[in-house]
Copies of this chain bind each other. A is one copy, B any other.
């Protein structure tokens, strides 16, 4: 069966049959959700013993003193060591933040807007600021740049990362281009990891703007689905140093999807020069972030090996969900002319690429049968998917049984939207 080669009559017949199936699901009164990249309750339970490692009987000593009291703006040394191992940087090249790297990203853009970068003109004094946005990408990145009135330019993703010819053209020639949003490993939403060549081309950029920064959101650095099949990402900070561009990158990460989604710790990594600049400005905003929670994370994970072992347990909970959906897609959607999908080795999402012009309709059909999907268009700046063909699927939250039903319904909706 292939929708592309079927006759009109055949398609009409298929449509009638699909509509019957679809109605059955509609009548089931489902309330399904594949919209949010939230960990499941089982994942949260796996991480909850982190709450047992610090009690009133603990010693609260870090290298930097009693974590219960005020002070230590950049975070405790032990937490810096842990996150520096994740982010492959030095402990003097990192600041530990609060419960969300999103906030660190917002605050970084905000500081550039109000105070500039290393003494450059604050962006609020400029007529035009532009950001490059590899698409599809993470909607909350685009929300931040839109919030500050920054013009966003779509850069198509390829299987090896953003289209680097376009990136180089913009960054090296237009001084209004101040940044690019990247999720370089197991990207949101496609699960693509940037190739070595892509990373090296990033590191070798020659920005027209001195305050251009790569916003390297390494959100899924340790979020593999398999022990034996893992993507590898070149460390951007090291590559930037080698290329003579040590100050060109801000890297972000958090433990949100390692420990507890709402109660993790976050980090920003950058050259010592950048970090000093950030701390100088951040000093007006905070005395320190929650150091008790930092120590809690350090005592729980112990070190990068402990963290990786924990992430393999997370993988054991996530992998079956990814595999089940992908097997269903293989069986039902592969080679029938109804779109395509990638097989990520990590991260939190599967991206389904429909036939052009069908994504909105699929999401609408799902909704009318009681299933919430991420809005079509959400992974694009201004929520505009130029080809209306990208759907982000988040398999993490629903239990496996629910996810099976959700997958079945999704397949029917994809087929139906395609034949329509």
Contacts and interface: CB of A to CB of B under 8 A. Distances in A.
Interface of A: 36, 38-39, 41, 44-45, 47-52, 54-56, 58, 60, 66-71, 98-100, 102-103, 106-107, 110, 113-115, 122, 124-125, 140, 143-144, 146-148, 256, 260-263, 281, 283-293
Nearest to A72: B262
Contact of A100 (B100, B125, B287): B287
A292 B113 contact: no
Contacts of A115: 147
A114 B38 CA distance: 31
Given A44-B66, A263-B291, 14 more contacts: A48-B56, A51-B58, A69-B261, A98-B99, A98-B289, A98-B290, A99-B289, A99-B290, A110-B285, A140-B284, A140-B287, A143-B283, A144-B284, A263-B293
A298 to B, nearest CB: 14
Contact of A68 (B36, B58, B148, B263): B263
A114 B103 contact: no
A398 to B, nearest CB: 13
Contacts of A100: 286-287
B292 A38 contact: no
Nearest to A146: B284
A21 to B, nearest CB: 33
A48 to B, nearest CB: 4
Contacts of A102: 285-287
Given A51-B55, A56-B48, A262 B288 contact: yes
Nearest to A44: B68
Nearest to A284: B147
Contacts of A52: 55-56
B55 A69 contact: no
Contacts of A69: 38-39, 44, 260-262
B99 A285 contact: no
A110 B70 CA distance: 23
A285 B106 contact: yes
A37 B106 CA distance: 30
